Amino acid sequence: MNSVPAKEERPWGWFEILYEEAGLKVKRIMVRPGKRLSLQSHEQRAENWVIVQGEARFTLDDRVFTLEPHQAVFIPRQGRHRMENPGREELVFIEVQTGTYLGEDDIVRYQDDFDRC
């Protein structure tokens, strides 16, 4: 019997964990139109993001990129990054985390629209 991953709601949208093992976690993330994730970094993991649906505005350190479906970006450990949905449809992307620790508490927030710094 296949189980459906539980969606974890956030102020900007939701995420669900698709796969997890030691040193690897895969998530599907949805960002609502006009919303964005916090500007953040991680001490113990790197991430790869692949756009599935929608248009994304992606920040990595001091650079900002526009991404479309099928485009991917790599976020090195300690890289300051953010994903934003400037469009009118939901933004969906896949996040692949790799590292020695993949807990949700490995996050440093620099800016946040929802006062979570």
Q: How many domains are contained in the chain?
A: 1
Euclidean distance between CA atoms 10 and 8, whole angstroms: 7
In a domain, residue 48? The reply is yes
Within a domain: residue 5?
Answer: no
Check: CB of residue 5 under 8 Å from CB of residue 30: no
Q: Write the pLDDT tens digit of every residue in 29-44.
A: 999 999 999 999 999 9
For 74-97, the pLDDT digits (tens) are: 999 999 999 999 999 999 999 999
**Residue 41 belongs to domain spanning:** 26-105
What pLDDT is recorded for position 4?
Answer: 66
Give me 44's structure tokens. 């113990």
20 falls within a domain: no
* Tokens describing residue 19: 């796969």
pTM for this prediction: 0.92
